[in-house]
Amino acid sequence: MITRDQLAELDADDALAPMRGRFHLPEGVIYLDGNSLGPMPKATAARVAEVVRQEWGEGLIRSWNDAGWMDMPFRIGGKIARLVGAPEGNVIVADSTSVNLFKLLGAALAARPGRRVILSERGNFPTDLYMAEGLAALLDRGHTLRQVEAADIASAIDDDTAVVMLTHVNYHTGAMFDMAAITEAAHAKGALMLWDLAHSAGAVPVDLAGCGADMAVGCGYKFLNGGPGAPAFLYVAEHLLPTIRFPLTGWLGHAAPFAFEGSYRPAPGIAGGFVGSPAVISMSALEVGIDIALDAPIAGIRAKSIRQTALFAELVEQECPGHGLVLASPREAARRGSQVCFAHSEAYPIMQALIARGVIGDFRAPDILRFGITPLYLRYADLWDAVAILRDVLTSGEWRQERFQTRRKVT
């Protein structure tokens, strides 16, 4: 039996405990949704205010040079690179994850002209699948998006596979791929490997260069705590940069944007991945979140995450038996990202009732209760308190109330 006292003792010994103080966490909330939208770092409001009032308000157009706005996507990209095992010059911040997927998938298909298949996981995050579908339809040259079960990915890669596109940690279940093994399998068949790090960056160790990954994208507003709709990032391995052809050819990806030439000439290297003007204000918030992530050793994050996810799953099973909750995340730590999911036919109203009680997780259609575990600010005792409320919600049946049944726009 796990007790709250045991968990409180773990908190007392937790080397990461001081990190919690760098986030604003509302009273009465246990936040288990940092994998959907990370909470606000306390330093963010001041930094954003500085960008708005000082850099924009006083500096005006001059801040593109004087405040380094033009370099921000490189500077912040370089910081993200350190979080995902990439050389600093191979990551930039730009656009959304979806748009970056399009850029890289387009580049991947161009780099493997004889091959027709984009291979992905059935159950990958929809935007990854949709962007690939849309690109294939747009090109209209016989490309297809092939979706197979996670376990079948490696064996499904063949000589017609142009690119394997996978989300490292599945948004729905938390299941995590072996990045090195799958990348190697892709390369063995001559395919490129594109990783979506949306649920990985800042949460689990990633070694893009070490694994030989060719391309990657990732999200700024989950474990990087960059704020709602924070810009995303993209990575391209050095060996691809000399010949890469990005399909979105905007002026900021031009070799000389301010020469205003009449025809496109790609900027050398990763800079060709830029399209339009970066969202400076949103990007300034992102940098604060990333700076915090850089202050926490990822090995410590991962160790705490493994312990917390395991404890959370055990606690739910210990405290809430007989309510029909079925663990939907891998039990094996090495195969699990930083979240714990339970399936339940009434997952939607149960999650709404939990949220009403201050335990904020996510519902994911059709039947998943998703709990994000974020070691930077989550205490061990919070796990106990969250599960105690889950138990109350289930035993009292309060989730059956009318008000929890109605689907909201964002679920």
Q: Which 113-152 positions form the footprint of a second copy (CB under 8 A)?
A: 122-123, 125-127, 129-131, 133-134, 137-141, 147
Which is closer to a second copy, CB of 125 or CB of 298? 125
**Residue whose structure tokens are 């940092």:** 34
Q: For residue 401, how far is the Cα from the chain centroid?
A: 33
**Residue whose structure tokens are 């960059």:** 226
**Could you give the CA distance from residue 352 to residue 359 in angstroms, rounded to a whole number?**
9
Among 74, 221, 312, 380, the active-site one is 221
DSSP 54: I
> In the range 215-244, which residues lie near a second copy by CB under 8 A?
221, 227-232
Residue from 11, 14, 64, 367 touching a second copy (CB under 8 A): that is 64
Q: Is 189 in the active site?
A: no
> In the range 76-115, which residues lie near a second copy by CB under 8 A?
95-99, 102, 106
Among 128, 196, 214, 362, the active-site one is 196
Provide the minimum distance between the beta carbon of 126 and a second copy in the complex, in angstroms, as a whole number. Answer: 5
Q: Is 221 in the active site?
A: yes
Q: For residues 83-120, b (16+ Cβ closer than 10 Å) or e, as one string?
A: bbbbeeebbbbbbbbbbbbbbbbbbbbebbeebebbbb
**Is residue 57 a contact residue for a second copy (CB under 8 A)?**
yes
**Could you give the CA distance from residue 192 to residue 269 in angstroms, rounded to a whole number?**
18
- The interface mask with a second copy, positions 16-45, x = CB under 8 A, is --------x-x--x-x-x--xx-xx---xx
Task: Work out the end-to-end distance of the chain between its first and last CA atoms, rounded to an integer number of angstroms.
Answer: 34
Provide the minimum distance between the beta carbon of 410 and a second copy in the complex, in angstroms, as a whole number. Answer: 4
Q: Is 235 in the active site?
A: no
Among 22, 115, 146, 222, the active-site one is 222
Which is closer to a second copy, CB of 51 or CB of 387? 51
> In the range 363-382, which residues lie near a second copy by CB under 8 A?
364-365
The string of DSSP letters for 14-29 reads -TTGGGGGGB---TT-
**Is residue 300 a contact residue for a second copy (CB under 8 A)?**
no
**What are the two backbone dihedrals, phi and then psi, of residue 76, each rounded to the nearest 5 degrees?**
-70, -35
**What are the two backbone dihedrals, phi and then psi, of residue 289, each rounded to the nearest 5 degrees?**
-60, -40
Residue from 18, 276, 297, 321 touching a second copy (CB under 8 A): that is 276
Among 103, 115, 364, 370, the active-site one is 370
In a 10 Å sphere around its CB, with 0-12 CB exposed, 13-18 middle and 19+ buried, how is residue 212 labelled? middle
Provide the minimum distance between the beta carbon of 180 and a second copy in the complex, in angstroms, as a whole number. Answer: 27
DSSP 262: S
**Could you give the CA distance from residue 39 to residue 56 in angstroms, rounded to a whole number?**
25
- DSSP reduced 3-state for 146: strand
Q: Is 125 in the active site?
A: yes
Residue from 242, 262, 322, 397 touching a second copy (CB under 8 A): that is 262
Active site residues: 125, 196, 221-222, 370
